[in-house]
Amino acid sequence: MVNPQAVDNLAGGIELAFGEYRLRRRQVAMGSVFEIILDGDRDEVELRALIESAFAEVVEPLEMQLSHYRSGSEISWINENAHREPVRVEPRLFDLLRECAALTSMTHGAFDVTIGPLVRCWGFHRKGGRVPPAEELAEVRERVGMEHVVLDAQTGTVAFDREGIELNLGGVGKGYVVDRVVEYLARYGAHCALVESGGSTVYGMGVPPISDGGWHVGVRPAGAEGERIGSLHLADAALSTSGDFRQHFVEGGVRYGHIIDPRTGWPARGVRAACSVTASATRADALSTAFVVLGAEDTESLCSKYGERALLMSLDAENEPETLQFGQPILEQARSTGGID
């Protein structure tokens, strides 16, 4: 049995508050720290073996498949060849790409997995940044857009309609891996677990013995300093946060964050961070990014139309957080700021 501190600060914008749990393991994966916590009445040796197998059978193979940084990954193979001819892909990956296309449509292009060329154009892939010349930006924008990706369900293939298109699953991949781990744990009998990636995407399975409402999670928008803005309980649900507090640059007195609007080619403005709570970590991962791009008015419309839940955060003139929630409120306990009572 492990006795952690009351609040466990993760790498991104999520904090876990709990007293005791059975087993926990962290491992670097998908460019961040991936964590699995298991609880329940099963033998500790069995729980430990289940965690080890989840990393070996799910996390590590999916990292090899989805990473566009690995030359031998399936995503890299698609990016190198799909403009020449249709590329047959693994069925679960094909399903993920179809879900990404649906999310692009749902968000009116605010979420788009072809955004990689824009990320490089702005220099965010190097953790730095610069404002690109207008001509360069215009040329790069011609190579961005899910409308250039052809998904053939009959053949299970992916094709690009022009050279230079590429898939970058950085905005959804961590959530997808979290979902696949949860699915794996459930298949082998787990009923109480918490799976998170990078401190920004987390899924709470079941209700831990020390809680009567799920896994207690605090929200401190990704990269933000200072106290958390509220908390909630997750029970068979996912939370994802996105924000530009850490990754940004200033040029000419203007601040540019790393979350880019695929529709304009420019970094999103106004909303500094966003949260999404859904039944799927994949969906939450994508929507939290989209909400930053969409802004308050369009996020409210999307939540009203699709029954989604969103929390947006910006900073006022005194650099204090202002928050708005749309749909069923995400935070059960919140600071008295912005649109939260």
Per-residue pLDDT of the chain (341 residues; tens, 9 = 90+): 322 333 343 334 566 554 456 789 999 987 789 999 998 777 889 999 999 999 999 999 999 999 888 888 999 999 999 999 999 999 999 999 999 999 999 999 999 999 999 999 999 877 778 999 999 999 999 999 999 999 999 999 999 999 999 999 999 999 999 999 999 999 999 999 999 998 899 999 999 887 778 999 888 755 555 567 788 999 999 999 998 877 888 999 999 999 999 999 999 998 999 999 999 999 999 999 999 999 999 999 999 999 999 999 987 767 777 899 999 999 986 653 332 22
Is 180 a domain residue? Answer: no
Q: Whole domain around residue 100: which residue ranges? A: 74-171
Is 124 a domain residue? Answer: yes
pTM over 0.85: yes
Supply the CATH number for residue 167's domain. 1.10.3980.10
The Cα 114–Cα 112 span in angstroms is 6
Is 84 a domain residue? Answer: yes
Bridge partner list, 215? 234
Is 223 a domain residue? Answer: no
> Can you state the angle between helices 173-187 and 44-54, rounded to 10 degrees?
140
Is 104 a domain residue? Answer: yes
Total domains, the chain: 1
In this structure, the dihedral spanned by the alpha carbons of residues 7, 10, 16 and 19, taken in order and rounded to 10 degrees, is: -50
Is 117 a domain residue? Answer: yes
Is 155 a domain residue? Answer: yes
Is 109 a domain residue? Answer: yes
